């Protein structure tokens, strides 16, 4: 009999009941909540007079709507100017308190983007099934957990039953081997992969990322890769557990301690695909071929290396290319280094962990942002990331270069708070979606790595950071 993939293992040990019609009842070990997708779920629960199945698996933190300006933040919920945002953050806080759910409020130093806070606190552990009403829950698969985004009806289902009804996905392996070029990072890997398989390439699959390049990445880098599995169409990304994963969990507040620590570690080590596991699809990537990546269009698959150009008609399906060039204000065949930028955003659950900020700061140190840049924001992924960065003096490096140093939250990744692009403004962004209007009405997003965004802020347009001095 063929061996099992990591996904097979994780899925099978969470089946509560097989229904016989391909849909199974799956047990959920961890449920994360944020303010945008949970209010209607709690409302449904209350209307049906149902209780929480198991309080202790739930954890809440506001992130999408929270202001990132220090002055607005100091007053907590009361300080949120937008009444709709305020109501959502209040509602999350009220619902969590009413049900006894652990949550970090806006004034808590540990508050941050849900997918950054989860791993940071040890709330996410290998072998868990994890869900959240947010598609970038896929980030957490980097720890060997089966982590998936769900809709609000499913949030309610998990609150009430601790289970979900789900079909098993197919297995895809993206095997990435070889050494990365200098300054090429996890973000470039995943953008390159999406460019290769397309945004629907992973639909219906759980993607495991494997190979020596993935093994060589830090756990943080692995999170960046799994974060954008959803942009490749897959609900979940996965990376096998290794010593780095286990070391990452050590000493985190919610990680197992005492008598369970050893037992847990032993179990975690089994969370790898068997050597003879069969995948439904395998994609191989030679890491040494990956250049720093830049998206030029309105879908993450519209991406090229820094030495590349916006394609011309025959290389992308005609209509999509024309619509994208029109929206982005670019012409076919234009080199991406010619794209002039208005704003720079370093942040989001893709790239706002400490490693990302260090990489960006290293490029910025002792330099100034270009005069043509209207705004350059650095938004740490959590309060703890911010504190650590400040203790290393990264905030000073950014501030002296002309960046703004903000409080943690989703911020300009989706522009639900006050941080947004103006119409037709081009932004170098370390986030994950370049959809029309994502960062503000009429805004034009280019997805890049933190180092690429930092360099673009200094020069005013994209540059090949492999030649940075």
Partner 1 sequence: MERFTVYSGIVAPMDRANVDTDMIIPKQFLKSVKRTGFGPQLFDQLRYLDEGQPGMDNDLRPVNTDFVLNQSRYQNAGILLTRENFGCGSSREHAPWALLDYGFRVILSSGFADIFYNNCFKNGILPITLSPKIIEKLFVEVESTEGFGLEINLRNQNVTWPSGETIDFEIDGFYKNCLLNGLDEIGMTLEKSDRIHEYEKQRQKICPWLFEDLEE
Measured from the Cβ of residue 203, the count of other Cβ atoms closer than 10 Å reads 13
Interaction between residue 136 and ligand SF4 (CB under 6 A) = yes
CA–CA distances in Å: residue 10 to residues 51, 273, 361: 27, 10, 38
Task: In whole angstroms, give the CA distance from residue 67 to residue 88.
Answer: 13
Among residues 257 and 288, whose Cβ is nearest to partner 1?
A: 257
Interaction between residue 139 and partner 1 (CB under 8 A) = no
Among residues 181 and 199, whose Cβ is nearest to partner 1?
A: 199
Q: Candidates 4, 103, 222, 235: give the one binding partner 1 (CB under 8 A).
A: 235
Interaction between residue 432 and ligand SF4 (CB under 6 A) = yes
Q: Candidates 3, 12, 46, 55: give the one binding partner 1 (CB under 8 A).
A: 55
404 binds, among partner 1, ligand SF4, none (CB under 5 to 8 A by kind): none
Measured from the Cβ of residue 311, the count of other Cβ atoms closer than 10 Å reads 18
337-366 footprint of ligand SF4 as x/- string (CB under 6 A): -----------xx-----------------
Residues in the interface with partner 1 (CB under 8 A) total 79
Interaction between residue 446 and partner 1 (CB under 8 A) = no
Among residues 126 and 221, whose Cβ is nearest to partner 1?
A: 126
Cβ–Cβ < 8 Å for 33, 117: no
Long-range contacts of 242-251 (CB under 8 A, 24+ apart): 242/215, 242/272, 244/218, 244/219, 245/126, 245/143, 245/144, 245/219, 248/119, 248/143, 248/219, 249/122, 249/125, 249/126, 249/143
Largest Cα separation within the chain, whole Å, is 64
Q: Candidates 120, 134, 208, 425: give the one binding ligand SF4 (CB under 6 A).
A: 134
Cβ–Cβ < 8 Å for 432, 438: no
Task: In whole angstroms, give the CA distance from residue 248 to residue 62.
Answer: 24
* Bridge partner list, 340: 461
349 binds, among partner 1, ligand SF4, none (CB under 5 to 8 A by kind): ligand SF4
Among residues 55 and 313, whose Cβ is nearest to partner 1?
A: 55
Interaction between residue 418 and partner 1 (CB under 8 A) = no
Structural Rg of the chain based on CA atoms: 21
In the range 373-412, which residues lie near ligand SF4 by CB under 6 A? 410
431 binds, among ligand SF4, partner 1, none (CB under 5 to 8 A by kind): ligand SF4
141-180 footprint of partner 1 as x/- string (CB under 8 A): --------xxxxxx-xx--xxxx-x-x-x-----------
Q: Which stretch binds partner 1 (CB under 8 A): 126-134, 177-185, 207-215, 304-312?
A: 126-134
CA–CA distances in Å: residue 148 to residues 100, 113, 154, 414: 24, 16, 11, 20
Interaction between residue 39 and partner 1 (CB under 8 A) = yes
98 binds, among partner 1, ligand SF4, none (CB under 5 to 8 A by kind): none
Among residues 36 and 354, whose Cβ is nearest to partner 1?
A: 36
Name, in order, each residue with C-beta under 8 angstroms of 391's C-beta and a sequence gap of 6 or more: none
End-to-end CA distance of the chain: give it in Å, rounded.
55
**Among residues 456, 463, 451, which one has the least CA distance to residue 182?**
451
Interaction between residue 421 and ligand SF4 (CB under 6 A) = no
Q: Candidates 65, 227, 295, 351: give the one binding partner 1 (CB under 8 A).
A: 65
At which residue do the structure tokens 């969990």 appear?
A: 249
- Least separation, in Å, of the C-beta of 465 and partner 1? 28
In the range 73-102, which residues lie near partner 1 by CB under 8 A? 82, 84-85, 87-88, 91
Task: In whole angstroms, give the CA distance from residue 213 to residue 208.
Answer: 13
Interaction between residue 299 and partner 1 (CB under 8 A) = yes
Residues engaged in binding ligand SF4 (CB under 6 A): 63-64, 113, 115, 134, 136, 348-349, 410, 413-414, 431-432
């Amino acid at each position: 009999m063929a061996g099992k993939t990591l996904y097979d293992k994780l899925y099978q040990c969470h089946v509560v009941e097989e229904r016989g019609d391909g849909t199974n009842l799956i047990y959920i070990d961890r449920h994360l909540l944020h303010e945008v997708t949970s209010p209607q779920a709690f409302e449904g629960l209350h209307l049906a007079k149902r209780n929480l199945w198991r309080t202790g698996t739930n954890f809440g933190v506001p992130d999408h709507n929270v202001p990132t300006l220090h002055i607005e933040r100091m007053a907590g919920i009361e300080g949120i100017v937008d009444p709709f945002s305020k109501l959502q953050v209040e509602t999350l806080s009220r619902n969590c308190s009413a049900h006894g759910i652990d949550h970090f409020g806006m004034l808590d130093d540990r508050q941050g983007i849900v997918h950054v806070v989860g791993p940071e606190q040890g709330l996410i552990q290998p072998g868990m099934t994890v869900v959240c009403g947010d598609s970038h829950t896929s980030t957490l698969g980097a720890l060997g957990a089966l982590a998936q985004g769900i809709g609000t009806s499913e949030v309610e289902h998990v609150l009430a039953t601790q289970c979900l009804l789900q079909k098993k996905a197919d297995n895809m392996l993206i095997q990435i081997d070889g050494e990365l070029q200098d300054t090429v990072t996890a973000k470039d890997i995943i953008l390159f992969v999406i460019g290769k398989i397309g945004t629907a390439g992973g639909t219906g699959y759980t993607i495991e990322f494997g190979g020596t390049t993935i093994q060589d990445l830090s756990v943080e880098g692995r999170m960046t890769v799994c974060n954008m599995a959803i942009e490749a169409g897959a609900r979940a990304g996965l990376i096998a557990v290794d010593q780095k994963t286990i070391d990452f969990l050590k000493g985190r507040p919610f990680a197992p301690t005492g008598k369970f620590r050893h037992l847990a570690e032993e179990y975690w080590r089994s969370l790898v695909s068997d050597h003879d596991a069969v995948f439904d699809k395998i994609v191989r990537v030679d890491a040494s071929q990956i250049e720093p990546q830049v998206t030029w269009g309105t879908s993450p698959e519209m991406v090229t290396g820094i030495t590349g150009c916006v394609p011309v008609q025959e290389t992308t399906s005609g209509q999509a290319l024309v619509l994208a060039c029109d929206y982005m204000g670019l012409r076919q065949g234009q080199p991406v280094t010619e794209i002039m930028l208005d704003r720079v955003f370093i942040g989001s659950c893709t790239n706002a962990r400490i490693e990302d900020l260090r990489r960006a700061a290293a490029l910025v140190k002792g330099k100034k942002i270009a005069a043509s840049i209207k705004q350059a924001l650095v938004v740490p992924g959590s309060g703890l990331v911010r504190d650590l960065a400040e203790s290393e003096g990264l905030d000073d490096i950014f501030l002296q270069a002309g960046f703004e140093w903000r409080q943690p939250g989703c911020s300009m990744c989706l522009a639900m708070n006050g941080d947004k692009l103006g119409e037709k403004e081009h932004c170098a962004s370390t986030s994950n979606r370049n959809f029309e209007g994502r960062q503000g009405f009429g805004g034009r997003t280019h997805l890049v790595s933190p180092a690429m965004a930092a360099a673009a802020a200094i020069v005013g347009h994209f540059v090949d950071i492999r030649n940075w001095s």
